[in-house]
Amino acid sequence: MENGEADVVGGIFFSPERVQKFSFSSHYYQIPANIFFHSSIYGLRNLKDLDGFRVGVVAQDYSVTYLLNNRPALNLVLYSNAEMMIKAAHKGEIRVMVGDAPVIRFYLAKYELIDEFKQPAKALYRGKVNSAVKKGNTQTLNLVAGGFAKITDEELSAITEKWVGIKVWKRLPWFWISIGLAGGVLVLLIMFLWNRQLSRRIQTATSDIRSKQRALEKSRQELKEREAFFRHFTEHTEDCIMRFAREFRHLYVNRVAELTTGIKMADFIGKTHQELGFPEDLTKQWHSALEEVFSTGEPKKIEFQLPNGIWMDWLVFPEKGPEGEVKNVMTSAREITDRKRAEQEIRRLGQFLEGVIENANVWLTVLDADYKVLIWNRAAEPISGYNRVVGSRKIWRNLFSDQVSRAFAFSKIKEVFNDLLSLEDIETPIRTRMGGKKVIAWNLRPLMDEKGKSSGLIAMGREVTENADLEERLRQSQKMEVIGTLASGVAHGFNNLLQAMTSYVQLLLFKCEDRTDEHKYLMEIAGSVDRAADLVNRLLAFGRKMASRPRLLERTIPKMVRIETRAAPDLRLVNADSTQLEQVLVNLANNAKDAMSEGGRLTTVTENACSSGREKHSLEGGKRGLCKTYGK
């Protein structure tokens, strides 16, 4: 009628909301609306008792408006008509309904459910049945009202009884009913005192039963939700889910089991692993794990490899009953082939790294943030004298026995830890287990965790004790070479002066041979010059000991003068004082150097030469050795 498809509604409940759209006639019938509930439920008498239940109602029926207005928190399940609602109750989808009593009883009788559902004695409400037309259509409304006025009470009662199943309440003989009720009231008054106490007990018991029923209904709903969740989970998980009975027979497997083994899901059910043809060793391993869980009630986890090479991680856990007994066993298997391969690779790399660390020829130590030793390789033992000291912190106090070296070492370690720096060639003295002293050159590297913070330190050390001694001796030798070079230079200068003095003294002695006094003094001077020359020769000899002979001229000749040597291949031996001969060579070289103020080339040539016989010192066979030094 709202859509204009009809002019009159023959039967409609009156409500304040509908007055806005329709004009109503006087009511001609009252239909009681009741709560209908399954026979296993007890004590539903009013709207408050419906909390916690799924309540079926017919959409567009006045009962929906009534329930929402008076108990908006109820869990309502809407159906298109009363028959659909009764079918849902027959399937067990709902156990409580609210609606027009005659209509619901009709469909309950139709589907043979009349004995399975009960209703309270008191109606929830009574709906007045009216005729109605579209708002403002008074002409049609008057016509309908006139028609109903022509229907006698007997006709109306017969029609109602035929279609609804009960007589019209307002047409009943209320006078005779009142007399009967009066007699009933007398009986009730007699039983009231006895029934009062019983009623209280029943009320308490009923309240408890209703609470239990609501809890049971909630539990059933939760169980359904969990079952749906479990089925959804097992069908979409990547794990292989199985369920076993006590005889190790399969009760359930998901599709992953079929994909993993190649055996169809239906073929698993009711069979053991042996019956499915799995290898005997695997079957024994699986049944041993299942038996342990059935016996102990505790979960168990194992790993195994299938015949096709796939590795599985198998979690076995019990499914317990109300008394804590193990009824069945559930298993969840996950493929871990990639993980097993990664573990094997990690073990291989670990063994390789361990071999590298143990066979390294340097002292390698790893410390944690508390300076505790985590790695102490084989090369550290002969250097320090200490065997494996993994887990120790006191080792550093033993190695760095004096306070200065200990403070220096720990300052460098803290620098690496705090500033995440890498340090190289940090030399520290250590004291070995036998009390000896060694010098170690350390390379320090920080270890960082995944957050970039310092978690440890790698220390690589090599013994440089001999190098340190050599360096000290080299520094001392270099000092002495400098002194020797200085002494040679000073001696050369003095030697030139003494040669000039000797020459002049010899001339004066030649001129003063007939002068006794002057000759005597000159002889004293000549003796002093000879003694000075002897001292200079000693000084030159000291300088030559400090300088290596091949580099003798390089020490006295500046670098801007290039030194060359050309020696004959068949030189003969010379009978001479090597010190004086070297001094002669140095003097000649210095004279040549003085002639090359801007640099040049100094060449020393040695060869065999013939003697003329006038030389003071002759050589065998009338030959002599000749050394010529010249600058260019």
Q: Where are the domains of the chain?
A: 8-172, 237-341, 360-463, 465-547, 551-632
Profile the chain (632 residues) by mean pLDDT over runs of 10 residues: 74 76 79 90 83 89 87 89 92 91 89 89 83 82 79 72 52 61 77 75 80 83 81 82 92 88 89 91 92 93 87 91 89 89 86 80 83 82 77 75 82 85 85 84 86 85 73 70 72 77 82 78 82 75 52 67 81 72 78 79 83 45 39 44
Q: What class has domain 551-632?
A: alpha beta
Q: What is the pLDDT of residue 577?
A: 66
Q: Are 589 and 557 in contact (CB under 8 A)?
A: yes
How many helices and strands in the chain, by DSSP H and E? 18, 21
Which residues does 598 contact at the CB level (< 8 Å), separation at least 6?
560
Q: Are 602 and 558 in contact (CB under 8 A)?
A: no
Is the pTM of the predicted complex or chain greater than 0.85? no
Q: What is the pLDDT of residue 79?
A: 93
Looking at the DSSP bridge assignments, the partners of residue 13 are 129
Check if 237-341 and 360-463 are the same fold: yes
DSSP string computed for 467-490: HHHHHHHHHHHHHHHHHHHHHHHH
Q: What is the pLDDT of residue 71?
A: 87
Instruction: State the amino acid at position 458 in one-letter form.
Output: I
Question: φ and ψ at 76, to 5 degrees?
Answer: -90, 140
CATH number given to 360-463:
3.30.450.20
Q: What is the pLDDT of residue 343?
A: 85
Q: What is the pLDDT of residue 261?
A: 83
Nearest Cα to Cα of residue 7 among 132, 130, 147, 136: 132
CA distance 140 to 126: 27
Q: Are 462 and 362 in contact (CB under 8 A)?
A: yes
Q: What is the pLDDT of residue 578?
A: 65
10 Å CB burial of residue 372 (0-12, 13-18, 19+) is: middle
CATH number given to 8-172:
3.40.190.10
Find the helix or strand (DSSP H, E) in which 267 lies.
helix 265-268
CA distance 515 to 513: 6
Question: φ and ψ at 453, to 5 degrees?
Answer: -95, 155
Q: What is the pLDDT of residue 579?
A: 63
Instruction: State the amino acid at position 570 in one-letter form.
Output: D
CA distance 162 to 575: 164
Radius of gyration of the chain (CA): 61
Q: What is the pLDDT of residue 375?
A: 83
Q: What is the pLDDT of residue 170?
A: 42
CA distance 365 to 371: 11
CA distance 78 to 97: 10
Residue 297 backbone zone (phi > 0: left; psi -120 to 50: alpha; other: beta): left
Nearest Cα to Cα of residue 29 among 101, 110, 105, 77: 101
10 Å CB burial of residue 67 (0-12, 13-18, 19+) is: buried
CA distance 326 to 489: 106
Spell out a b/e string for 547-568, using b for 16 or more CB atoms within 10 Å of the CB, else e: beeeebbebbbeeebeeeeeee
Write the DSSP symbol of residue 152.
Answer: -
Given 3.30.450.20, 3.40.50.300, 2.60.120.10, 3.30.830.10, which CATH number is that of 237-341?
3.30.450.20
Q: What are the tokens at 106?
A: 């009709």
CA distance 104 to 95: 13
Q: What is the pLDDT of residue 628?
A: 46
